[in-house]
Amino acid sequence: MTALHEATSVGLNIGRFSELLQGFAAEVSMAKQKAVTDGEAALARRFQRVLTVYADSATLWRDKIENARYDFLQGQIEVGIEKLGGSHEMVWSPEIRRIVDEYKLPISEGRIAYTGARFVTAPEASIQVLWAVADSRIPAATKPYLAATAPAAAAAQGRAPAYIEELKALASLRDQGVITKEEFEAKKRQILGLDKPVSKKPPS
């Protein structure tokens, strides 16, 4: 998800976007399969919500590319076009219309100059609008995960290595006169591995 989010911030082509989207989909699928607790299942569902928005943006992007040959669209995303033959019936692209309705994307209507048929489009910027929606859902998806892992990470960072505790105990024994300074130094070198001979590899 991080790679996909960062990529949309700097610009990319549809091929790279599809590749990253596929990778994110695989991660979400794996998270669902490995979910054991209710919390893990809820986390997977939050990531799925982010994935869905990115997938919808890819649908808009592909539609824009597929219809780029139609000059009258002027680079916009086709939502529907009037059927020829005088019926004036609008033929909608079901998936595109679903996305437009779900995200409340703006639409505009025009007419084809040489046929007079009406058409409805969504702006090209709708793709970036959906990326912004996905971005807005990322904190809700990652916050519970970060909150759950933060204590463990903090504990791991704050935990001193075992040899530090051992050296502190030895220093206490030295200060109490239980062991001599020389014994302390010898044991310290042993703990730190400084009493081992250094082996040098012969040049190859």
pLDDT tens per residue, range 126-164:
999 999 999 998 888 777 555 555 454 455 555 555 667
Look at 161 and 110; give whichever has higher pLDDT.
Answer: 110
Task: Flag whether pLDDT at 171 surpasses 60.
Answer: yes
Question: What is the token pair recorded at 198?
Answer: 């250094």
Residue 198 pLDDT class (50, 70, 90 cuts): very low
Give the three-state DSSP class for 121: strand
Edge-to-edge strands, sheet with 77-82: 90-92, 77-82, 118-122, 108-111
pTM > 0.85: no
Distances (CA, A) of 9 to 6, 22, 34, 128: 5, 18, 30, 10
Task: Return the pLDDT at 71.
Answer: 92
Least confident of 23-27, 40-44, 164-168: 164-168
In whole angstroms, how far apart are CA 175 and each of 161, 184, 185, 186?
22, 10, 13, 15
Report the range of poorest mean pLDDT among 76-80, 107-111, 157-161: 157-161
Q: Indicate the range of 35-44, 92-101, 152-161, 163-172 predicted with least confidence.
A: 152-161
Q: Is pLDDT at 73 greater than 80 in this prediction?
A: yes
Q: Determine the pLDDT at residue 202.
A: 41
Percent of the chain residues topping a pLDDT of 70 = 82
Structure tokens at 124: 């090209």
More confident residue, 58 or 38: 58
Give yes or no for residue 11 having a pLDDT over 80: no
Q: Is 20 helix (H, G, I), strand (E, B) or coil?
A: helix
Question: With the C-alpha atoms ordered 84, 89, 91, 96, is the resulting torsion angle positive or negative?
Answer: positive
Please list the residues that pair with 80 across neighbouring strands: 92, 120
- Using 50, 70 and 90 to split pLDDT, how confident is the model at 201? very low
Q: Tell me what pLDDT residue 142 has.
A: 76
User: What pLDDT does residue 63 have?
Assistant: 94
Residue 200 confidence class, pLDDT cut points 50, 70, 90:
very low
Distances (CA, A) of 199 to 6, 124, 196, 202: 46, 66, 9, 9
Q: Which residues contact 191 (CB under 8 A, 6 or more apart)?
A: 163, 166, 167, 170
Supply the pLDDT for residue 20. 93
The average pLDDT across 36-43 equals 87
